[in-house]
């Protein structure tokens, strides 16, 4: 299965309903790395541009590298008018960017889709000496809600087998354990539409035309009804930011 097309039917939902990153997390990236209006950034696996947009107007140039055509179309629609933003077709393993061209690589939620060894080699190739890697992800902190939600996705649509990077520690990409990890909290209030849209945007969710979708939606409604109050589900969301330099791996022995 080619993972490139997994989000083709989910791109609109992804752009509309996914949680954004905590503002403090974005501030931390700038504060620690000291990137500026003279810097260049490559957002790898950029999707619809959810992380990319936070660099526009704050750096000299940002490349949004995304292999999925539908995701790129949405990114172009929302961000393409900015002259400093370049949305390009490429993969983590083959970005098409020049050697030593970026001060910072950012990755949000996409590591599971990367093939680790060639991706790490590509990161080393495109980063300037002393360049940074920012790995950013979001997750809910309500354990009971998370455990219930895991059970509503039909196994027949599971795409986990193509997530080559799953289980690969971040230290592999950095080259060591020497990186900074910070977390930032955000409270999100979700209506049924937003809640369902977010669930349906997952790679392993059935598409609306799937025979599995009605049962999936019914199960989602039962969860929403259980955890919401007066039609609003309050989600506690954490943005985790890891920041460090990408170095050559040290082979012991």
What distance separates the 2 farthest-apart alpha carbons in the chain? 62
How far is 83 from 103, CA to CA, in rounded Å? Answer: 19
State the average pLDDT for the chain. Answer: 92
What's the predicted TM-score (pTM) here?
A: 0.93
82-102 pLDDT, tens digit each: 999 999 999 999 999 999 999
CATH code, 37: 3.40.50.150
Q: Do the domain assignments include residue 87?
A: yes
**Does residue 197 lie within any of the structural domains?**
no
Query: Could you give the CA distance from residue 104 to residue 114 in angstroms, rounded to a whole number?
Result: 18
- Its domain, for residue 116, covers 3-142+157-186+238-245
Residue 48 lies in a domain: yes
Q: Which of 29, 213, 191 is nearest to 108 (CA)?
A: 29
Q: What is the pLDDT of residues 142-173, one digit of tens each?
A: 999 999 999 999 876 545 455 445 678 999 99
Asked if 188 contacts 19 with a C-beta cutoff of 8 angstroms, the reply is: yes
Sign of the CA dihedral with 239 first, then 242, 243, and 248 last: negative
Question: What is the distance between the alpha carbons of residues 213 and 224, in angstroms, rounded to a whole number?
Answer: 16
Residue 174 lies in a domain: yes
């Amino acid at each position: 299965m080619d993972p490139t097309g997994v989000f083709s039917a989910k791109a609109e939902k992804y752009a509309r309903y996914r949680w954004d990153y905590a503002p403090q997390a974005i501030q931390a990236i700038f504060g620690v790395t000291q990137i500026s209006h003279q810097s260049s950034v490559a957002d790898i696996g950029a999707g619809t541009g959810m992380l990319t947009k936070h660099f526009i107007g704050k750096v000299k140039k940002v490349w949004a590298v995304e292999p999925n055509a539908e995701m790129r179309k949405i990114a172009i629609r929302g961000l393409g008018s900015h002259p400093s933003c370049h949305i390009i077709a490429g993969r983590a393993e083959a970005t098409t960017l020049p050697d030593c061209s970026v001060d910072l690589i950012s990755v949000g939620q996409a590591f599971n889709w990367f093939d680790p060894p060639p991706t790490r080699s590509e990161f080393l190739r495109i980063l300037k000496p002393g360049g940074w890697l920012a790995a950013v992800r979001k997750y809910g902190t309500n354990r009971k809600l998370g455990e219930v939600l895991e059970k509503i996705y039909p196994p027949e649509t599971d795409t986990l087998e193509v997530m080559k990077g799953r289980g690969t520690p971040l230290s592999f990409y950095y080259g060591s354990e020497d990186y900074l990890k910070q977390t930032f909290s955000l409270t999100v209030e979700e209506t049924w539409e937003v809640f369902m849209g977010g669930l349906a945007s997952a790679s392993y969710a059935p598409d609306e035309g799937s025979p599995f979708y009605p049962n999936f939606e019914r199960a989602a409604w039962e969860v929403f009804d259980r955890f919401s109050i007066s039609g609003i589900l309050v989600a506690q969301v954490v943005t985790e930011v890891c920041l460090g330099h990408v170095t050559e791996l040290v082979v012991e022995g």
